Amino acid sequence: MDKKVYKGEEIEIYFDSEKCIHSGVCVKGMPEVFDLSKRPWVNATESPADKIAAHIDTCPSGALTYKLTNKTDKE
Ligand code: SF4
Protein backbone atom coordinates (compact mmCIF):
# COMPACT_ATOMS: atom_id res chain seq x y z
CA MET A 1 0.00 0.00 0.00
CA ASP A 2 1.33 3.42 -0.93
CA LYS A 3 -0.13 5.66 1.75
CA LYS A 4 1.29 9.11 2.31
CA VAL A 5 0.79 11.44 5.25
CA TYR A 6 0.65 15.22 5.19
CA LYS A 7 0.77 16.95 8.56
CA GLY A 8 -0.84 20.23 9.54
CA GLU A 9 -1.09 21.85 12.92
CA GLU A 10 -4.39 20.23 13.86
CA ILE A 11 -4.87 17.56 11.23
CA GLU A 12 -2.97 14.75 9.56
CA ILE A 13 -4.13 13.93 6.05
CA TYR A 14 -3.56 10.46 4.62
CA PHE A 15 -3.61 9.70 0.92
CA ASP A 16 -3.76 6.19 -0.52
CA SER A 17 -2.92 6.50 -4.22
CA GLU A 18 -4.10 2.94 -4.92
CA LYS A 19 -7.67 3.85 -3.90
CA CYS A 20 -7.88 7.18 -5.75
CA ILE A 21 -10.27 7.14 -8.71
CA HIS A 22 -9.19 10.61 -9.89
CA SER A 23 -12.63 12.14 -9.52
CA GLY A 24 -11.06 15.53 -8.82
CA VAL A 25 -13.46 16.28 -5.96
CA CYS A 26 -10.59 17.21 -3.64
CA VAL A 27 -8.80 19.63 -5.98
CA LYS A 28 -11.96 21.28 -7.32
CA GLY A 29 -13.57 21.80 -3.94
CA MET A 30 -10.53 22.95 -1.97
CA PRO A 31 -7.73 24.01 -4.34
CA GLU A 32 -5.86 25.87 -1.60
CA VAL A 33 -5.21 22.55 0.14
CA PHE A 34 -5.22 20.08 -2.77
CA ASP A 35 -3.16 21.39 -5.69
CA LEU A 36 -1.61 18.95 -8.13
CA SER A 37 0.73 21.62 -9.50
CA LYS A 38 2.50 21.88 -6.14
CA ARG A 39 4.86 19.57 -4.30
CA PRO A 40 3.69 18.32 -1.96
CA TRP A 41 0.26 18.46 -3.58
CA VAL A 42 -1.48 18.44 -0.18
CA ASN A 43 -0.97 21.42 2.11
CA ALA A 44 -2.67 20.74 5.42
CA THR A 45 -2.09 24.24 6.79
CA GLU A 46 -4.01 26.23 4.16
CA SER A 47 -7.49 25.87 5.69
CA PRO A 48 -8.96 25.21 9.16
CA ALA A 49 -8.68 21.55 10.14
CA ASP A 50 -12.44 21.06 10.56
CA LYS A 51 -13.11 22.41 7.07
CA ILE A 52 -10.47 20.16 5.55
CA ALA A 53 -11.95 17.21 7.43
CA ALA A 54 -15.46 17.94 6.13
CA HIS A 55 -14.12 18.17 2.59
CA ILE A 56 -12.16 14.93 2.89
CA ASP A 57 -15.42 13.25 3.91
CA THR A 58 -16.64 13.94 0.34
CA CYS A 59 -13.82 11.96 -1.31
CA PRO A 60 -15.78 9.24 -3.14
CA SER A 61 -13.12 6.54 -3.05
CA GLY A 62 -11.84 6.72 0.51
CA ALA A 63 -8.36 7.52 -0.80
CA LEU A 64 -8.24 10.55 1.47
CA THR A 65 -8.64 10.09 5.20
CA TYR A 66 -7.55 12.15 8.17
CA LYS A 67 -6.94 12.34 11.87
CA LEU A 68 -7.66 15.48 13.85
CA THR A 69 -4.66 15.88 16.10
CA ASN A 70 -5.98 18.60 18.39
CA LYS A 71 -9.40 17.42 19.52
CA THR A 72 -11.24 14.16 18.94
CA ASP A 73 -9.57 11.62 16.71
CA LYS A 74 -11.39 10.57 13.58
CA GLU A 75 -10.25 8.67 10.53
S1 SF4 B 1 -11.44 13.26 -4.14
FE2 SF4 B 1 -10.53 11.30 -3.56
S3 SF4 B 1 -10.85 9.98 -5.34
FE4 SF4 B 1 -11.15 12.07 -6.02
S5 SF4 B 1 -9.14 12.72 -6.80
FE6 SF4 B 1 -9.26 13.35 -4.67
S7 SF4 B 1 -8.32 11.66 -3.55
FE8 SF4 B 1 -8.82 10.87 -5.58
Q: For residue 71, name the pLDDT band (cuts at 50, 70, 90).
A: low
Q: Where are the beta strands (DSSP E) in the chain?
A: 3-7, 11-16, 64-68
Each residue's pLDDT tens digit, 18-50 = 999 999 999 999 999 999 999 999 999 999 999
Task: Tell me the CA–centroid distance for residue 24 and ligand 1, in Å.
Answer: 5
Q: What is the pLDDT of residue 51?
A: 98
Q: Which atom of ligand 1 is nearest to the CA of 23?
A: 4
pLDDT score at 2:
76
The verdict on the CB of residue 64 being under 6 Å from ligand 1 is yes
Q: How far is CA 47 from CA 9, 19, 33, 54, 61, in A?
A: 10, 24, 7, 11, 22
Sequence-ordered list of residues with C-beta below 8 angstroms from that of 44, at least 6 positions apart, any chain: 6, 7, 8, 9, 11, 12, 13, 33, 52
Q: Distance, CA 9 to ligand 1 centroid (Å)?
A: 22
Q: Ligand 1 centre from 71 Cα, in Å? A: 25
Given a cut of 90, whether residue 1 has pLDDT beyond it is no
In this prediction, residue 75 carries a pLDDT of 55
Structural domains for the chain: 3-68 (3.30.70.20)
